[in-house]
Chains A and B, each alone.
Chain A
Amino acid sequence: MKGNRFVYYVREGINSIFNHGFMSFASVCIIVACLLIMGSFTLLALNVDSIINSMESENEIMAFVDESYSTADAQSIKPGLEAIDNVSSVIFVTREQAWDDFLDTYSDPGRLGELGPETLRDRYVIYVDDISIIAATRDAVSRVDGIADTTVHLDIAKTLVKIRNIVTIASIALVAILFTISLFIMANTIKLTTFERRDEIAIMKMVGATSTFIRWPFVVQGLILGLLGSLLSFVMEWGLYTLFSDKLMAGAELSLLTVIPFSVVSIPIFIAFTVVGLGVGVIGSLLAIKNYLKV
């Protein structure tokens, strides 16, 4: 591309933005609104996923060893448990350790009377990789010789998986819908510009301008509007997210929640916003100008 042509495309693109100031402003606002909603849902999905991942790591299968097994026998079961699919780690807890842990959580140990560690069983705490197949893992654990009983909070696991699936599907659907809306509005904004300039375009065609030459200023216009929209929405998303997460973390009751710091996701979010903003701008421009270039 010749230098003077590049200057011409950029100048014409910028002129068009200012000549149609209101529509340019409207399309940037729409891009900002759509990207903010898209970004917020993506961040929500990421946070839900992060929380579920941390809960997953805490969601365990408790496998109790047969009372007839000595502690040494009970410990010999461990390799068999570790070999089961989906098991990420296995921790052996003796009845004495379990009793101590129990006492730690009991406010009035004096009321337990004569009870002691012998009332409990040796046990394994088993962590899994994938919470969605924890029931199958529990069944496999139950079939290991020496395991007398197992407990797992299946309802919690199911709920967590359901929440994650819903949030993921809703986020994907919303992002797709909002992308389409942004594209439609951007295309119409630029279509309005091209409609106002249809005589100019006709003259350009008449004197022998190539389609590329006619198309580029509109593409530049879309690029600038898209980029502006994405940068503004990134800054706003940053501010809103930080504000929201600070308030959330400040709440004493919710202090167990962990929120992903914006700095961790800022680069992927910036790239995603820029790509979507530019994509909406360029595709919208190409759709808008298409009909005028057919002759």
Chain B
Amino acid sequence: MVRFTDVFKSYENGTKALRGVSFEIADGEFAFLVGPSGSGKTTIIKLLTGEIAPTDGKIIVNDYDLTNIKFSKMPYMRRTLGVVFQDYRLIEDKTVFENVAFAMRVVGASSKEIRRRVPYVLELVGLDTRTRRHPQELSGGEQQRVAIARALVNNPRLIIADEPTGNLDPARSLEIMMLLQKINELGTTVLVVTHEKELVESFSKRVIAIDGGKIISDGMGGYYNYER
């Protein structure tokens, strides 16, 4: 569950990125966060992942209060999240299996758990035949699937996908979105940050639109609210 309550964020250079943002995403929900460049989308992601702290307001992510979370608790909050980026952020010298296993290893999973869980997740994202390949041997869509598998492998409560289809053609984009929808149907909350109108409109999901650091619309029914 995510809850933003009247959140403000100003950077040291004086930029006011968020001006009183409030929204809530319930457990098991699928939502899009849309908005033009500089609207505050990236700031919201950074606040959700604990990379930055709000200037004012309250943020709750999966029962962690990020407004006064201890630094030592931050890794445990992050283990409830899975983050997928536009540029995949895979480790080039590790295989597909190792990239996914790496996410488990760094949170202290045993080799036995890793051997059991990683093949399952790779099968879920359709990469069970590519486990020994390196990222550079895969297509963009496949690399994004590896990133999704990595985000998924620690069984997070919330997946945040930041422009997950930004580097993909329409067909691959749709595949990735279908995969995220499938993950959502399995019980994981999904928040997709994007500015791709067609993609948002092809799914009948909740759309939170932001512009100028404020929520300008929030509801079901595609992209039109944001274009108003």
Contact = CB atoms under 8 A, between A and B. Distances in A.
Q: How large, as a class, is the contact surface on chain B?
A: 20 to 34
B51 A208 contact: no
Interface in A199-243: 199-200, 202-211, 213-214
A295 interface: yes
Interface residues of A, number: 19
Given A4-B111, A8-B105, A295-B51, A208 B89 contact: no
Nearest to B104: A207
B49 A206 contact: yes
B91 A203 contact: yes
A153 interface: no
Nearest to A19: B93
B89 to A, nearest CB: 6
Nearest to A207: B103
Interface of A: 2, 4-5, 8, 199-200, 202-211, 213-214, 295
Interface residues of chain A: helix, strand, loop or mixed (majority):
helix
A206 B76 CA distance: 11
A208 B111 contact: no
B108 A207 contact: no
Which residue, A200, A202, A205, A207, has most C-beta atoms of chain B within 10 A? Answer: A207
19 contacts: A2-B108, A4-B111, A8-B105, A199-B89, A199-B91, A200-B91, A203-B91, A203-B102, A203-B103, A205-B78, A206-B49, A207-B79, A207-B154, A208-B75, A208-B78, A208-B106, A209-B107, A213-B106, A213-B108
A214 B108 CA distance: 12
A248 B91 CA distance: 58
Interface residues of chain B: helix, strand, loop or mixed (majority):
mixed
B161 to A, nearest CB: 13
B76 A208 contact: yes
Given A205-B78, A209-B75, 7 more contacts: A2-B108, A8-B105, A203-B102, A205-B75, A208-B81, A213-B106, A213-B108
A207 B150 CA distance: 9
B37 interface: no
B75 A202 contact: no
Contacts of A295: 51
B83 interface: yes
A207 B78 contact: yes
